[in-house]
Amino acid sequence: MKRFYSIILKEEREQVPPFVAKHLLMKESPLIRYLSDNQALKFVHRKETNKLDCYADEKYLMLGKLRYSKVFERKGRMGFMELYIQMKIQQQMDLANGSM
């Protein structure tokens, strides 16, 4: 298993629960979904540093990087807190429209 991604779950006053972070990553990242479908993904929550680390089997990680190469080519990536806020706004809009 190799660590390929880490997320800090606490910014200034924001605290994201680990299960919400896992759900958001599974929903938004095709690479995470691919690894999860092949049972090659493991999440580790480190309480002392308040980080969520993503580990994957090296074989599937290399295949995923080749398959979803656009995930790693962007220079200015969106931060996790921005992604989380975007998900919360989308949920509120869905509730207002009555689709949830």
DSSP states of 47-75 as a string? TTTTEEEEEE-HHHHHHHHHHTTHHHH-S
Distance CA 8, CA 34 (A): 23
Q: Does this model's pTM top 0.95?
A: no
Report the chain's terminal Cα–Cα distance, integer Å. Answer: 37
pLDDT per position as a tens digit, 20-69:
888 888 888 888 899 999 999 999 998 888 888 889 999 998 898 888 87
Chain centroid to CA 95: 23
The pLDDT mean for the chain works out to 80
Q: Phi, psi (5° rounding) for residue 24?
A: -65, -45
Partners of residue 42 on adjacent β-strands: 55
- Kind and range of the H or E element at 43? strand 41-46
| Token pair listed for 68 | 């979803």
Partners of residue 41 on adjacent β-strands: 56
